[in-house]
């Protein structure tokens, strides 16, 4: 009996339309929001367009000449995207007001970070997908995490569409464009033709042998993901319950899962549950806090405690500005 997946026709894309309720962005700030370590399923295309996925959604985002955000989605998925994109972009929060309430008036370095990334915000991603993404993140760079998730989706997630343009001539041009090369490097093959798959759900992951997960370049992370999937399969509703809890209780529950440490738990809560008090501490934040705040030799838990005390209930928002600024500063250093 054949087990091949049904063929999903290539979608026709809707014309680009403005995204309501969003401020203007610079291209660098939009790139930081979509591809700066919060999410791992966005890919730059030619012409300044970003192709992204979450849950069962596929969209393209771009900026117009004024910096205003525009969206296009496959016609069949456009109504769903219109409903779910505002939540994904956290359009219901006053990010300008939240940013202004950070202690930048008494913190010169934070003030510089805010000025470098005007309009930076925190995405509100699906909680379960955020957990999967950050379980893949241990000791890996963003491009490697993206490759792992792409393989998981391609091999174990349902196909939801094709990314090619409805214009055949444009498809040919796209396959040779700089953005097309970038997509090929990310493991997608020809960007004019590549299929798009959603990530496997946690119940689906529970049924996948660990060896097959390792084949998606997961390495030791495959064991953690397999164990977590089986744990969640035995506790229906656990993720929804955890997402709804206050930050301390939610973090304590996440730390019960295999492979979830302090940093991963804080990332999942910040980027998947909107808990802005979470202050993830990775190598970049350790570097920033040592160089800019004198916390040389401090352990991650100590840095996290300092971050929450110094930056207050919006420490996670401050963390994103610090993180983005530190990475940009490192790129600007001479070899």
Specify the pLDDT at position 137: 93
Bigger pLDDT: 172 vs 217:
217
Of residues 225, 239, 237, 306, the one with CA closest to residue 268 = 239
d(Cα 101, Cα 30) in Å, to the nearest integer? 22
Strand 69-72's sheet: what is its strand order?
Answer: 17-18, 69-72, 57-63, 50-54, 42-44
| Average pLDDT for 179-196 | 44
> Residue 236: how many CB atoms within 10 A of its CB?
10
Bigger pLDDT: 28 vs 172:
28
Quick one: how far is CA 79 from the chain centroid?
22
| Average pLDDT for 155-164 | 81
β-sheet bridge partners, residue 42: 52
Spans of all domains in the chain: 17-92, 93-115+275-335, 127-158+198-273
- 281: which 2 tokens? 């501490």
Instruction: Dump pLDDT digits (tens) for 51-92.
Output: 999 999 999 999 999 999 999 999 999 999 999 999 999 999
Confidence of residue 5 (pLDDT cuts 50, 70, 90): low
Q: What is the CATH number of domain 93-115+275-335?
A: 1.10.1670.10
Domain 127-158+198-273: CATH class, spelled out: mainly alpha
> Residue 7: how many CB atoms within 10 A of its CB?
9
- Reduce the secondary structure of 69-82 to three states and give it as a string: EEEECEHHHHHHHH
pTM of the model: 0.88
User: In the chain, which residue ranges form alpha helices assigned H by DSSP?
Assistant: 27-35, 78-88, 95-100, 108-116, 127-135, 142-156, 168-175, 178-185, 202-206, 210-213, 221-233, 238-244, 247-254, 262-273, 283-293, 300-311, 315-332
Instruction: Give the mean pLDDT of the chain.
Output: 88
| Average pLDDT for 179-204 | 60
| Average pLDDT for 210-230 | 96
Specify the pLDDT at position 175: 32
Tell me whether domains 17-92 and 93-115+275-335 share a fold.
no
Specify the pLDDT at position 333: 56
Evaluate whether the domain defined by 17-92 bears CATH number 3.30.310. yes
- 282: which 2 tokens? 């990775």
Element (H, E) at 44: strand 42-44
d(Cα 279, Cα 263) in Å, to the nearest integer? 8
Instruction: Dump pLDDT digits (tens) for 281-322.
Output: 999 999 999 999 999 999 999 999 999 999 999 999 999 999
């Amino acid at each position: 009996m054949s087990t091949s997946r049904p063929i999903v026709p290539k979608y026709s894309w809707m014309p680009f339309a403005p995204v309501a309720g969003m401020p203007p962005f610079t291209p660098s700030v939009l790139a930081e929001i979509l591809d700066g370590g919060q999410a791992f399923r966005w890919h730059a295309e030619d012409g300044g367009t970003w192709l992204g996925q979450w849950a069962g959604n596929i969209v393209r985002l771009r900026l117009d000449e004024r910096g205003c955000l525009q969206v296009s989605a496959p016609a069949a998925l456009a109504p769903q995207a219109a409903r779910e994109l505002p939540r994904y972009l956290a359009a219901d929060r006053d990010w300008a007001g939240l940013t202004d309430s950070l202690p930048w008036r008494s913190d010169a370095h934070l003030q510089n970070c805010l000025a470098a990334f005007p309009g930076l915000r925190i995405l509100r991603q699906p909680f379960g997908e955020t957990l999967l993404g950050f379980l893949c993140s241990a000791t890996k760079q963003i491009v490697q995490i993206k490759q792992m998730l792409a393989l998981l989706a391609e091999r174990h997630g349902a196909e939801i569409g094709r990314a090619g343009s409805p214009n055949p001539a444009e498809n040919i041009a796209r396959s040779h464009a700089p953005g097309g090369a970038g997509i090929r490097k990310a493991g997608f093959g020809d960007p004019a033709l590549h299929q798009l798959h959603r990530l496997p759900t946690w119940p689906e992951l529970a049924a996948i042998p660990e060896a097959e997960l390792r084949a998606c370049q997961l390495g030791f992370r495959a064991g953690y993901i397999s164990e977590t999937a089986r744990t969640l399969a035995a506790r229906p509703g656990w993720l929804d319950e955890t997402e709804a809890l206050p930050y301390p209780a939610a973090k304590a529950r996440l730390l019960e899962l295999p492979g979830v440490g302090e940093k991963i738990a804080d990332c999942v809560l910040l980027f998947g549950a909107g808990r802005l008090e979470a202050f993830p501490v990775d190598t970049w934040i350790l570097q920033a806090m040592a160089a800019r705040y004198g916390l040389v030799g401090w352990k991650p838990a100590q840095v996290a405690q300092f971050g929450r005390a110094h930056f207050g209930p919006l420490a996670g928002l401050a963390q994103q500005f610090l993180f983005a600024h530190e990475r940009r500063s490192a790129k600007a250093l001479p070899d």
